[in-house]
Amino acid sequence: MKNLINRQSISLWYMAVLFLSVSLQSCISDVEGSTTEISTVSNMTAELTAPPNVPPPVGARKAAKLIVDMEVVEKEGEMTDGVKYIYWTFNGTVPGSFIRTRVGDEIEFHLKNHPNNKLPHNIDLHAVTGPGGGAESTFVAPGQEKVFSFKALNQGLFVYHCATAPVGMHIANGMYGLILVEPKGGLPPVDKEYYVMQGDFYTKGKYGEPGLQPFDMEKAIDERPDYVVFNGKVGALNDDNALTANVGETVRLFVGNGGPNKVSSFHVIGEIFDKVHVEGGDLMNENVQTTLIPSGGAAIIEFKVQVPGTYLLVDHSIFRAFNKGALGMLKVSGKKDAKIYSGTQTERTFDPDGTMAKAKPAAEAGENLAETTKVLGKSLEEQKAHGKKVFMQTCFACHQANGQGIPGAFPPLAKSDFLNQDVVRAIGVVKHGLNGEVTVNGTTFNSVMPAQSLSDEEIADVLTYIYHNFDNNKTVVTPEMVKSQSK
């Protein structure tokens, strides 16, 4: 009897709430003053995307209740060729899934922690108004799910991250991502939108040291990262994974910085940002070369692409780009426009006092050294294995993992006619560096390769590795050959 009454009153109460929320909903619609729009479903599940993709724009849709489902995934991944790392992630990627909402949305956030995970986690979203940005409400142990709701009061591009102690370590292992809160009516439409996020990583071994690399707390505290990368690993946005656009299109980049420590001087080589939503907020700057993205901050960057080619995304704290991995690519295809960019127009020798004309041709000594095939004390296999290690630590940053180089910046070592023609000269390049013009496979480069401070043995092994890979001519280089090459 008592039960029955209870049930009845509950259902009455439920109906009253339902009625109230329906009338409230129509109130909101009235405030928004749109008559053409068909009222949206008030309960939607958010579409989440893995980087570098973003979900479709909110467009004209009304504010709604949005359900966001996220799962913490602890998993092994690859930092760079041969280097493994245990990442902690939101939804399995670094950065975590992109969340796209609009101002006024009520977000019901579900955070799940898989029973096979080892640690508790939580989430602090910078788009939240409330203590800890949701961190306290979402603290989940393995095998738990927590739910909390918040209203998106402020528009902008916001970082989210794990805030479980030790906070720095959870962020350093990859627990960050972006949530976009679009203004009413949405951001103006563009042709291409991408999701890029920088992060710094700290490993026991130095850059490129192979194997499974554990997190190094001491380096993290000292702010000495071994890797600074976009989208969680070296080369995440390179070559086949490059961002793409066509001439004439407007590209919008949602760029975040997870840190945990380093501030990003974000720059695209060969482009000028037409517009930057500074720090992800409403302030709009125009005609920007490099924009500063703080750790735990973001920026919305827009530019029109007018000239075909490969554009490099870098942290302009430039050693990070070429030695620690903070380098991505945007490949633009389409027709050239010589009025905007001509390419090299003329090319001639500059020899003001005739010294170059008198200089001797490159060393001819030891021309047949390439035929030496035995190296004392080390088998060819051992030499190649050690050479690969040197390559990944030293040459890779510029010449890239498969020796393919970077157009306009670093010549290829793959199938390089320059390399295969003359081993003595190649030894000289690694030993003493190279500058001035060099033509590789028909393309001229005019840049600087600094001398590599390597031992004779390291130079011998790295060149042997390169000669036996990337379609080269299998020359064996010995430490003796390196030693006898003087200039």
Q: How far apart are CA 16 and CA 140, in angstroms?
A: 34
Question: Does residue 162 have an active-site annotation?
Answer: yes
CB neighbour burial string for 173-196, b if at least 16 within 10 angstroms, e if fewer? bbbbbbbbbbeeeebeeeebbbbb
Task: Flag whether 114 is marked binding.
Answer: no
Binder of residue 412, out of Cu ion, ligand HEC, none (CB less than 5 to 8 A by kind) = ligand HEC
* Least CB distance to ligand HEC at residue 384 (A): 13
**Options 290, 310, 372, 480, the catalytic residue:** 290
455: left (phi over 0), alpha (psi -120 to 50) or beta: beta
Residues near 182 by beta carbon (within 8 Å), at least 6 away in sequence? 57, 58, 100, 101, 102, 103, 155
Task: Flag whether 432 is marked binding.
Answer: no
Q: How far apart are CA 172 and CA 170, in angstroms?
A: 6
Question: Does residue 126 have an active-site annotation?
Answer: yes
Of 45 and 443, CB closest to ligand HEC: 443
Give the binding site for Cu ion (CB under 5 A). Answer: 121, 162, 164, 170, 175
Residue 243, amino acid: L
**Options 71, 80, 93, 121, the catalytic residue:** 121
Is the Cβ–Cβ distance between 90 and 72 less than 8 Å? yes
Binder of residue 326, out of ligand HEC, Cu ion, none (CB less than 5 to 8 A by kind) = none
Binder of residue 395, out of Cu ion, ligand HEC, none (CB less than 5 to 8 A by kind) = ligand HEC
Query: What is the H or E stretch that residue 176 is in?
Result: strand 176-182
10 Å Cβ neighbour count for 10? 10
Of 247 and 438, CB closest to ligand HEC: 438
Phi, psi of 19 (to 5 degrees): -60, -45
Give the binding site for ligand HEC (CB under 6 A). Answer: 322, 394-395, 397-399, 410-413, 416, 418-419, 426, 429-430, 434-436, 438, 440, 445-450, 452, 462-463, 466
* Least CB distance to ligand HEC at residue 367 (A): 17
* Least CB distance to ligand HEC at residue 390 (A): 6
Query: What is the H or E stretch that residue 264 is in?
Result: strand 264-269
Question: Does residue 124 have an active-site annotation?
Answer: yes
Question: Does residue 291 have an active-site annotation?
Answer: no
Binder of residue 164, out of Cu ion, ligand HEC, none (CB less than 5 to 8 A by kind) = Cu ion
Question: Does residue 316 have an active-site annotation?
Answer: yes
DSSP labels, 18-32: HHHHHHHHHHHHHHH
Task: Flag whether 175 is marked binding.
Answer: yes
* Residue 209 exposure: Cα atoms within 13 Å on the Cβ side: 11
Of 133 and 428, CB closest to ligand HEC: 428
Q: Which residue is nearest to ligand HEC (CB)?
A: 395
Question: Does residue 161 have an active-site annotation?
Answer: yes
Binder of residue 121, out of ligand HEC, Cu ion, none (CB less than 5 to 8 A by kind) = Cu ion
Q: How far apart are CA 425 and CA 435, in angstroms?
A: 13
Tell me, rounded to whole angstroms, the distance of Cα 170 from its chain centroid. 18
* Least CB distance to ligand HEC at residue 398 (A): 3
Question: Does residue 286 have an active-site annotation?
Answer: yes
Q: How far apart are CA 253 and CA 255, in angstroms?
A: 6
Of 66 and 162, CB closest to Cu ion: 162
**Options 74, 170, 182, 216, the catalytic residue:** 170
* Least CB distance to ligand HEC at residue 395 (A): 3
Question: Does residue 121 have an active-site annotation?
Answer: yes
* Least CB distance to ligand HEC at residue 141 (A): 45
**Options 267, 386, 399, 468, the catalytic residue:** 267
Binder of residue 452, out of Cu ion, ligand HEC, none (CB less than 5 to 8 A by kind) = ligand HEC
Q: How far apart are CA 482 and CA 290, in angstroms?
A: 42
Binder of residue 426, out of Cu ion, ligand HEC, none (CB less than 5 to 8 A by kind) = ligand HEC
Question: Does residue 69 have an active-site annotation?
Answer: no
Residue 359, amino acid: A
* Least CB distance to ligand HEC at residue 393 (A): 9
Residues near 295 by beta carbon (within 8 Å), at least 6 away in sequence? 257, 258, 259, 260, 261, 262, 263
Q: Which residues are annotated as a binding site?
A: 121, 126, 161-162, 170, 175, 316
Which residue numbers are catalytic?
121, 124, 126, 161-162, 170, 175, 267, 286, 290, 316
Q: Which residues are annotated as a binding site for Cu cation?
A: 121, 126, 161-162, 170, 175, 316
